[in-house]
Amino acid sequence: MNRTLDQLVKGISPENDVPAVLIHGITTHSAQVNPGHLYIAIHGTNSDGHDFIPQAIANGAAAVITNGRDVGQLPVPQIKVANPRRAASLTAAEYYGHPSRDMTVIGITGTNGKTTTAGLIVAMLNAAGSKTAQIGTLGTVAEGYLQEKTLTTPDPIALHKVLFELHQDGFTHIVMEASSHAIDQSRVADVDFNYTVFTNLTPEHLDYHGTMDDYFQAKLKLFTALPPSATAIVNMETEYGQAVSDNCTVPVVTTAMAETGDVFFKDYQISLTGIHGIIQAGKITYKVDSSLIGKFNAENILCATAVSSAMGLTQEAIENGLKQCSSIPGRMESFALRSGATAFIDYAHTSDAYDKVLSTIKDIVVEPGRMYIVFGCGGDRDKTKRAQMAASAEKFGDFCHVTPDNPRTEELAAITADILSGFRKQEYAVFDDRGTGLRKALEGTAENDVVIVLGKGREDYQEINGKQIPYSDLEIINEFRDAH
């Protein structure tokens, strides 16, 4: 695929004399530049892409986009812009022909529930016979595509490339998660969303955003830059739901557990067997028979139903999708153990998510069963939530196993100290190796006990000092599972 430089930058460059240089690709990584590529220099957290312009040119860059800083005289065209991140999004969309315009795209944002809500919508669309792809924490989930986990929302160049490929392969619907980082960094700025979903907002990523208000404003951008033809679905069970609804620039469909929402439960029961009830959406009712558990998943079901109803899916497709989506990888997944205990894996990594997951499971533990919690906190991330997560684990659990969880470049001892400051009792043990801590918890179980393994979900690595070391909670749990 080839485009000319003047075509790619026509929306971002005020200059009229941009040469029609043929561009064979776009990248923000100098080492990935091939002859004929457009190199976009981005000032990142740890390095500045402008410092690598000489390497990009040596590798064959045909043109360079910069933020206007003085980089000297270049042997290739230099396009100066105020925001190279925004330029990366726009040029990528232009290079790949704006593929999202020709598909139905649903964007989901919120602290928790993005992946589950996405999975539910995908199941409903599949039940309706649509060719659907999911992009998010689980990677690109699409028939015929290798599922590789990357960022929750890929960088704009990779994102528009995969959207182009999906469109070429006949996919008609895209369900994607939009993280606050992605929205703030303009990764989805040139995706044409038809529907957006707000699940909830609780403290998270404050190491990046600084304050809850800045975090909220980042999320809000997804709802204030939509075309008039779009529709927003907003969960009103969260304190920020009303603020999103008030500031949204397109029609809003609200969801709530009670009749205060446009889409709500007429009645429901939540138990160990799942969520069962009736959803009212306008004049249509939907029967819910889901094996997912927990009030938070009932909220996710409402959001998914609201989107699918707004898209015009049939009652049969929505109900069948709910029934067929029996579990979401890494989200409240349960496994029967040989000891008669049950293990759960969940990706929860905020105190609010801990409260929701742990309170739900606590309510279904059969006496005299005990509840063991295996968890840790990520390094180089928001330190303020570590003690809060420990307090939540201690509140619901009988015993905690504190283990590493992607320490990255931070000292494990410092992370552990922050966690331990949240405990008020001595019902915990500390392990420098996550596998050892998890096995210790599983070995000590008896009938009716529950082991809840939080944080990593189905990740298959530990991130330590810039390296991804192979590791899987699921593989260890499988060593203790009931053969039947």
Confidence bin at 482 (pLDDT 50/70/90): confident
Q: Is 296 helix (H, G, I), strand (E, B) or coil?
A: helix
pLDDT at 422 over 70: yes
> What pLDDT was estimated at residue 5?
96
100-104, 344-348, 360-364, 390-394: range with lowest mean pLDDT: 360-364
CA-wise closest residue to 372 among 339, 331, 347, 342: 342
162-171, 206-215, 219-228, 467-476: range with lowest mean pLDDT: 206-215
pLDDT at 242 over 60: yes
Query: What mean pLDDT is predicted for residues 41-56?
Result: 93
Which are the contacts of 313, defined by CB distance < 8 A and separation ≥ 6?
A: 124, 125, 128
- Sorted by where each starts, the structural domains of the chain and their CATH numbers stand as 3-83 (3.40.1390.10), 99-324 (3.40.1190.10), 333-478 (3.90.190.20)
Contacts for 277-286 with beta carbons within 8 Å, 24 or more apart?
Answer: 279/305, 281/305, 281/306, 281/309, 282/309, 284/309, 284/315, 286/315, 286/318, 286/319, 286/322
Query: What mean pLDDT is predicted for residues 277-306?
Result: 96
> What pLDDT was estimated at residue 151?
61
> What pLDDT was estimated at residue 437?
98
Residue pair 88/182 in contact by the 8 Å Cβ criterion: no
92-96, 111-115, 146-150, 313-317: range with lowest mean pLDDT: 146-150
Confidence bin at 93 (pLDDT 50/70/90): very high
pLDDT at 150 over 70: no
Q: H/E element holding 388?
A: helix 384-396
Percent of the chain with pLDDT over 90: 83
Query: What mean pLDDT is predicted for residues 303-329?
Result: 96
Q: DSSP string covering 315-367, please?
A: HHHHHHHHHH---BTTBSEEEEBTTS-EEEEE---SHHHHHHHHHHHHTTPPT
pLDDT at 361 over 70: yes
pLDDT at 423 over 80: yes
Model pLDDT for residues 157-213, shown as the tens digit of each residue: 999 999 999 999 999 999 999 999 999 999 999 999 999 999 999 877 777 778 999
Predicted TM-score (pTM) of this structure: 0.86
C-alpha gyration radius of the chain:
24
> What pLDDT was estimated at residue 207?
78
Q: For 193-244, where are the E strands, in sequence order?
A: 195-198, 231-235
Average pLDDT of the chain to the nearest whole number: 94
Q: For 167-309, where are the E strands, in sequence order?
A: 173-177, 195-198, 231-235, 252-256, 263-271, 274-281, 284-290
pLDDT at 484 over 60: no
Tell me 33's DSSP state: -
Confidence bin at 138 (pLDDT 50/70/90): confident
The one-letter amino acid code at 112 reads N
> What pLDDT was estimated at residue 81?
93
